[in-house]
Amino acid sequence: MEMKGIIMDGISTSFNIKDTLLKLFDDNIGSLSEKDTPEIAEMRRKAIAVFARQGFPHTKLEKWRNTDLSKVLNHDFSFPMEPQTQDVNFEEIFRCDVPGFDTHMISQLNGCFIDRGKTLLQANTGVIACSMAEAFIRHKDHIINHFGKYASISDNGLTALNTAFARDGVFIYVPDNTEVEEIIQVVNLIHSEGDIFVQPRNLVILGRNSSLKLVQCDDSVDDNTGFINSVTEVVLSEGSRLDHYKLQNKNNRSALINNIYFHLEAGANLSTNAISLNGGLIRNEANVKLNGRGAHADILGVYLMDRNQHIDNQVFVDHAQPDCTSNELFKGILDDQASGVFNGHILVRQDAQRTNAYQNNKNILISDKAVIDTRPFLEIYADDVKCSHGATVGQLDSEAMFYLRSRGISMENARMLLMYAFAAEIVNRISIPRLKQRIDDLVKKRLRGELSICEQCVLHCSTKEQKVVFDIDMSKV
Amino acid sequence: MLSIKNLRVSISGKEILRGINLEVKPGEVHAIMGPNGTGKSTLASVISGRDIYDITEGEIIFKGKNLLEMSIEDRASEGIFLGFQYPVEIPGVSITNFMRTAINEQRKYHGLDPMPASEFLAKMEEKKQMLEIQAKLANRSVNEGFSGGEKKKNEIFQMAMLDPDLAILDETDSGLDIDALKIVANGVNKLRKPDNSFLVITHYQRLLDYIVPDIVHVLFDGRIVRSGGKELAVELEEKGYEWIKAEMD
């Protein structure tokens, strides 16, 4: 059937999602704002106005030049406003077959928190892990103090859209001087009959000198088209410590926009690692504000893309205060017609003396048709600063290939070993041993072409382990 | 074992080897000496199958088979080993995994099942002891952060594990202090058997004090210009390569 094309914000689609969303907002403003404080109700109105003005980002915008949303938006989406739990066998989905990787698992289905009746071991010490919907009612103080304070709506139409519709997601609060012993794992599943557009909104608050290990998994359950516009705000109070992982293993028909805003106070320490194994279109935006002396952030990522997959990592590090350090390393392997983008923006403000910032993006292109657009952008206003950046794009080292093959290793396996070795630099930075082992396995599987899209969370992949020679780490025997 | 006839090789239109003839019999150790840039490393790479060269003429027959028609990995499985002058670092891959992969791929080539883990571990242990290699080396990533001496010892260790019929050692002595040199040479001597052969490429006679060759060849300007017994190496050391050059002119 010939459909009439609609020009929407410079994007040509058959469906005017923007108008649909604006109407959806008007129709639902009552229920959306039901639990709002006046400030948050006002924030929603401002946010929808920004979205009405800016719409979806298009390729004429500098930051979106190489990531085109028009195709992934060109669907007849449904926009769930209420949680659904129908026809999903959770026990099946969440079956855990990773020995020893015990986590406190929180599940979200189509952007909505699913209460599975599990309680955190440290709930009695004030640690909270609940739905945002619940937090809007029961933890109003935290919401008032932090919600929307870090995710800037003025310059990001997608964050504005998410803010306008913010209703559910995950809320985590760690009190001062508390070390959360359990690893909290958030599994975001998309499962629907048809094409679906979801907007989870998360808020994570770490009190002073607290610490948390957080793993966010993005998975698809079925093969339907999903557009996920996710926003997460993370506050690291003085001296707190967050070890954060994003695992992305989505179907090829999915688009995942993952905006995270980290706000670090003095002496806070962040390590965030984005591991993208599959996905039709993935855009990770990591915004890191170093807002107190001595704050430190490691921002890491590894991406393994093939077919027509597209990966886009945007990192913005804002050195707002003196004596902070940041360290960015993203490594990627692109095969077939896969495309990638890396934009690393480091801003060193005038007062941020003795800043030490490092940034690097290394890529291997396996095929002639794979492309990567990588650009560093340093914006420095202080004078006593150490900043360095680098970017490489290359093929597998021919000398190393010769070395491996000269030992009798086939070309195919030699390539795989070198790709694995390339990715290992990031995988080795995972500080949770069980998780590291699991990701290591997944990377190997991915490189062998065995991991397409798991039916389950990437951490609970049910694919049978296959013994392949180099898979056996004898050093552990 | 190895028979090279009138081998001519060029790279980017420049001829490096200009008619090499070489016969290596089982049990023999041949040394190839010569000044820098005369084609010694090219010869080693060409025998191993590195595909950046143009073979314009000649043949290489190994155990009756035409090597030039084989891939790099098939040559390795047929029993050729190259000890690299500059071993490559492979982060994230332990030597243990690397060797297990290599051994099992070579076994697969010969239609054998993978080596059982216990047998493999015992073999690792045996070779490590034989070559006086510390246990910790085997658990580290291949060559990553290794000193020059450690890299060369690791090459000899790999050779011991793969047990080749023909081992080509490309300037294995370069960058080694005398203690490391002795360990490497001892390793080679322990691996000498009546049915395997060595091609030792070196710039200096020093290594040949420890690995005593049966035949010494002098490679100069892409050709073997002189062959002789081990005394040729001593003569070269005394008179220098200028002596050969003068004779050539």
Domains and CATH numbers, chain B: 2-248 (3.40.50.300)
Q: Mean pLDDT score of chain B, rounded to an integer?
A: 90
State the pLDDT at residue A450.
66
pLDDT at B129 over 90: no
pLDDT at B61 over 50: yes
The interface predicted TM-score of the complex, written ipTM, equals 0.95
Buried b (16+ CB within 10 A) or exposed e, A244-280: bbbbbbbbbbbbbbbbbbbbbbbbbbbbbbbbbbbbb
Determine, yes or no, domain membership for A458: no
Q: Residue A211 corresponds to which tokens in the numbers above?
A: 């610490």
Binary contact (B97, A470; C-beta < 8 A): yes
pLDDT at B13 over 70: yes
A contacts of B41 (beta carbons < 8 Å): none
B contacts of A411 (beta carbons < 8 Å): 71, 73
- What one-character-per-residue DSSP string does A102-152 give? -EEEEEEETTEEE--S---TTGGGT-EEEEHHHHHHH-HHHHHHHTTSSS-
Determine, yes or no, domain membership for A450: no
Residues A4, A8, A10: CA angle, nearest 5 degrees: 115
Do A305 and A334 form a contact (C-beta atoms < 8 A)?
Answer: yes
Q: pTM of the full predicted structure?
A: 0.83
Binary contact (A469, B104; C-beta < 8 A): yes
Do A206 and A237 form a contact (C-beta atoms < 8 A)?
Answer: yes
Chain-centroid distance of CA B109 in Å reads 21
Determine, yes or no, domain membership for A386: yes
Residue A464 has what DSSP assignment?
Answer: P
Q: What's the domain range around A57?
A: 38-396
How far is B182 from chain A, CA to nearest CA, in Å?
A: 24
Determine, yes or no, domain membership for A160: yes
Do A256 and A229 form a contact (C-beta atoms < 8 A)?
Answer: no
pLDDT tens for each residue of B187-228: 889 999 999 999 999 888 888 889 999 999 999 989 999 899
Chain-centroid distance of CA B241 in Å reads 23
Determine, yes or no, domain membership for A277: yes
What's the burial of A97, exposed, middle or buried (CB within 10 Å: 0-12/13-18/19+)? exposed
Determine, yes or no, domain membership for A207: yes
B contacts of A422 (beta carbons < 8 Å): 92
Determine, yes or no, domain membership for A414: no
Buried b (16+ CB within 10 A) or exposed e, A307-330: eebbbbbbbbbbbbbbbbbbbbbb
Strands (E), A265-384: 269-278, 281-290, 296-305, 310-319, 325-334, 339-348, 355-365, 371-380
- Of B77, B93, B138, which is closest to A421 when you measure between CB atoms? B93
How far is A441 from chain B, CA to nearest CA, in Å?
A: 13
Ordered per-residue pLDDT tens for chain A, 477 residues: 444 566 666 666 667 899 999 999 999 999 888 888 999 999 999 999 999 999 999 999 999 999 999 989 988 899 988 776 555 565 555 544 344 567 888 888 888 888 777 888 898 999 999 999 999 999 999 999 999 999 999 989 999 999 999 999 999 999 999 999 999 998 888 878 889 999 999 999 999 999 999 999 887 666 778 899 999 999 999 999 999 999 888 888 889 999 999 999 999 999 999 999 888 999 999 999 999 999 999 999 999 999 899 999 999 999 999 999 999 999 999 999 999 999 999 999 999 999 999 999 999 998 899 999 999 999 999 999 999 999 999 888 899 999 999 999 999 889 888 998 899 889 999 999 888 888 888 888 888 776 554 433 333 333 333 333 333 333 333
pLDDT tens for each residue of A388-444: 999 999 888 899 999 999 999 999 889 888 998 899 889 999 999 888 888 888 888
Do A172 and A203 form a contact (C-beta atoms < 8 A)?
Answer: yes
How far is A434 from chain B, CA to nearest CA, in Å?
A: 17
How far is B127 from chain A, CA to nearest CA, in Å?
A: 16
Binary contact (A417, B90; C-beta < 8 A): yes
Q: Residue A394 corresponds to which tokens in the numbers above?
A: 């290359």
Binary contact (B71, A427; C-beta < 8 A): no
A contacts of B97 (beta carbons < 8 Å): 470, 472-475
Question: Chain A within 8 Å of B121 (Cβ-Cβ)?
Answer: yes
Binary contact (B93, A403; C-beta < 8 A): no
pLDDT at B139 over 70: yes
State the pLDDT at residue B183.
82
Q: What is the 3-state secondary structure (H, E, C) of B36-71?
A: CCCCHHHHHHHHHCCCCCEEEEEEEEECCEEHHHCC
How far is B162 from chain A, CA to nearest CA, in Å?
A: 8
Determine, yes or no, domain membership for A258: yes
State the pLDDT at residue A5.
62
Interface test with A, best of B82, B90, B110 (most A CBs within 10 A): B90
Which among A17, A299, A365, A361 has a CA at the least distance from the CA of A158?
Answer: A17
Q: What is the 3-state secondary structure (H, E, C) of chain B?
A: CEEEEEEEEEECCEEEEEEEEEEECCCCEEEEECCCCCCHHHHHHHHHCCCCCEEEEEEEEECCEEHHHCCHHHHHHHCEEEECCCCCCEEEEEHHHHHHHHHHHHHHHCCCCCCCHHHHHHHHHHHHHHCCCCHHHHHCEECCCCCHHHHHHHHHHHHHHHCCCEEEEECCCCCCCHHHHHHHHHHHHHHCCCCCEEEEEECCCHHHHCCCCCEEEEEECCEEEEEECCHHHHHHHHHCHHHHHHHHC
Which among A63, A9, A56 has a CA at the least distance from the CA of A312?
Answer: A63
